Amino acid sequence: MRKLLIKGGRLIDPDTRTDEHLDLLIVDGVVAERAPELTPDDDTRVIEAAGAIVTPGLVDMHVHLREPGREDEETIESGSRAAAHGGVTAVAAMPNTEPAIDTASWVEFVRNRESQIMVYPIAAITKDRAGETLTEMAELAAAGAVAFSDDGSPVVNPSIMRRALEYSTMVGLPIISHCEELGLSGRGVMHEGLASTMAGLRPIPAAAEEIAVARDIILAKMTGANLHIAHVSTEGSVELVRRAKDDGIAVTCETCPHYFTLTDDDVRSYDTHLKVNPPLRSASDLAAIKVGLADGTIDAISSDHAPHSLEEKQVEFDAAPPGMTGLETLLPLTLTQLVQPGTITLERAVELMSTDPASILRIPHGSLAVGAPADVTVFDPDWAWEITEDWFVSKSKNSPFTGRKVRGRVTHTVSRGEVVFEETDLNEGDARDEGEREPDVLSVHV
């Protein structure tokens, strides 16, 4: 028997409506017991978690692991180590690899690669992600795909999208939509507004996203399919999803830390690490995203982890590929930007990063109920630190958050009962932040 005891932490598990100081005993990869005071046997490994928060392992439902095709930027193995480093114990890998994940054998390839944590393949909606022919969704689902998406590009033809949604209802898996009306986004590289006017960069209007969100919500209503909207970034999109939910349409959505941390004004620096699709939006969009996270309109925070080589990013802004890494900064940014200013509670943060994405993908994660698979994240919520480039373990370093001061840091990650990450650099001198922090002027208190 392999036994692991996480001792002295504050256990937050929305699935069992728990928020109290409980010890957590894991036996053979399964949650075995939860109690205020558990005594370890001689053969039990103990993690001292006094002062720390213990939650179900984080679930990042939107990552790009680049394998097959761009193993120089990331592999499933390196991405899984980055995930473990960020407290993430399950990822859903997008299929826009080279080649695309559009056959059962590729789905099995992704599932069977060596990894530190659980990697769930998302399969393409259309063959080669070309937007023309549906993939064999039933076979892909049987092979282990957890959702379908052509992420990176939209399904342009509304008729194909309609058929994909209809067909997916037979399979019972969600369709994840990258919402972008290409006719409006065109060759744009940043959000349209005062900042794009000043930077002189070609603009992408918010409408390019919102028209596509509206289209897919209407198609979801028509087909009764489960639609999940990827990387929601605008006020209008949040409002469309809110209304759709009020109308009882089966739609869920996610946003990413960069959409509640950075704005289009930051892009005026021409830093290519800030180039992302959808683009960083205005301050009012950012505020609306925060409201949506707090009121339940937005169901999940995903990273849209998009590794790119330095060479590809060290070019003119127009020429750089969109995307930033994010697996490792998901938790500290959520804590720093949302929880500490009081926009959302810690419990809500755990729902957004674990319970709810697990439920959208119907994967066995997001719970610390007795008998559940033991995926656990332990973090120190008060650890104030600065993100540095050499701290990242991802193969790629294209993060705009390098140099940023954050508060909250993962100390242990447990996947299926195994400790897959343990912070060894417990720098006690690295001051716990007791003092005043800068007020978050954009924070929304709901």
Partner 1 sequence: MRWTGRHLLGLEGTTREELLTILDTAAKFREILDRPVKKVPTLRGVTIANLFFEASTRTRMSFELAEKRLSADTLNFSASTSSVKKGETLRDTAQNIEAMMVDMVVIRHSCPGAPHFLSQHLDASIINAGDGAHEHPTQALLDIFTMRERLGDLDGKRVTIVGDILHSRVAKSDIYGLRALGADVTLCGPSTFMPAEVERLGVTVTADIEEATSDADVVNILRIQRERQEGGFLPSLREYTALFGIDAARVARMKPDVVIMHPGPINRGVELAPDVADSERSVILDQVTNGVAVRMAILYLISRVRAAERAEELELLEVEL
Annotated catalytic residues are: 304
Residue closer to partner 1 by CB (options 8, 188) is: 188
Helix, coil or strand: residue 412: strand
Residue closer to partner 1 by CB (options 191, 365) is: 191
Residue closer to partner 1 by CB (options 202, 405) is: 202
Q: Least distance to partner 1 from the beta carbon of 434, Å? A: 36
The Cα 187–Cα 194 span in angstroms is: 18
Q: What are phi and psi of 61, to 5 degrees?
A: -85, 10
The percent helix, strand, coil of the chain (3-state, each to 5) is 35, 25, 45
Residue closer to partner 1 by CB (options 182, 222) is: 182
CA–CA–CA angle 176, 182, 184 (5° rounding): 125
Q: Least distance to partner 1 from the beta carbon of 292, Å? A: 23
Residue closer to partner 1 by CB (options 315, 370) is: 315
CA–CA–CA angle 74, 401, 377 (5° rounding): 70
Q: Least distance to partner 1 from the beta carbon of 318, Å? A: 4
Residue in the block written with tokens 């480093």: 85
Amino acid at 172: G
The CB density around residue 21, as the number of other CB atoms within 10 Å, is 13
Q: Least distance to partner 1 from the beta carbon of 314, Å? A: 6
What residues make contact with partner 1 under the rule CB under 8 A? 192-194, 196-203, 205, 269-270, 311, 314-319
Classify residue 42 as exposed, middle or buried by CB count within 10 Å of its CB (0-12, 13-18, 19+): exposed
CA distances to 109, 139, 216 from 120, rounded to whole Å, are 11, 15, 24
Residue closer to partner 1 by CB (options 111, 202) is: 202
The Cα 83–Cα 79 span in angstroms is: 6
CA neighbor of 140 nearest in space, from 163, 161, 110: 110
Q: Least distance to partner 1 from the beta carbon of 319, Å? A: 6
- Give the E-state strand segments of 124-260 in sequence order: 147-149, 175-177, 190-191, 203-204, 227-229, 251-255
Residue closer to partner 1 by CB (options 41, 316) is: 316
Q: Least distance to partner 1 from the beta carbon of 203, Å? A: 6
CA distances to 92, 128, 133 from 123, rounded to whole Å, are 10, 10, 14
What is the token pair recorded at 194? 């005062």
Residue closer to partner 1 by CB (options 49, 274) is: 274
Q: Least distance to partner 1 from the beta carbon of 215, Å? A: 21
CB 381 within 8 A of CB 346: yes
Q: Least distance to partner 1 from the beta carbon of 396, Å? A: 18
What is the token pair recorded at 393? 């373990």
What is the strand order of the sheet 251-255 is part of?
58-63, 88-93, 118-123, 147-149, 175-177, 227-229, 251-255, 300-301
